[in-house]
Structure 1
Amino acid sequence: MNMWTAIIVIVAILAFAEVIKTRHRARHGITTDAMGNEKPLPREDAELKREVLELRERVKVLERIATEDRETKRLSAEIDSLREK
C-alpha cells in the first residue's frame, strides 16, 4: 500500500465516522450553535402534553373527593361496611 492509498483510506474512515456521528446527533435531537457548542433541541410532544393534562384533571377530581366533608364521611362509612363483610 503506497502513501496515497493510505491517505485515501484514512479520509474515507474519517468521512464515515462523521456521517455516523451526525446521524447519532440527529436521532437524539442534538444541534450545534455558531460557536460549535452542542445543545439539545427542545421537543414538543403533543401526546405527552395531552397525558399531563389528563393526569391534572384526575388529580383535581381526587382532590375534590378527598376534601368534600359530606362525601368523605359517606365514603368512609362505605369502606368500613365493606371491611366488616
Structure 2
Amino acid sequence: MNVYEMVIAIVVVATIGKVLQARYGVVRTKHGEDVHFRDDAASQAENQRLRDELKAMKDRLAVLERLATDNNDSGARLDREIEKLRDRP
C-alpha cells in the first residue's frame, strides 16, 4: 500500500465516521465531548409544551399588534381586549 492509498483510506474512514455520527445524532462540542440527542417521551413532551407556549405567544402578539394598529375609537373595547389578554394563561 503506497502513501496515496493510505491517505484515501483514512479519508474514507473519517467520512464514514462523520456520516454515522450525523445519522445517530451525535455532535461534538468545542471541548471534544460527545453530546447525544435525546429522542424519548420526555423530550417529545417538552418539545410539544414549547410549541404550545410559542403558539400562545404568537396569538398574544397578534392581538397586541391589532390593538396597536386598529383605530381605537372606543376606550371600552380596548379595555375589554386588554382584560382578555390578562385572563389568558
TM-score by length of 1: 0.43
Q: RCO (CA 8 Å, sep 6+): is it higher in 1 or 2?
A: 2
TM-score by length of 2: 0.41
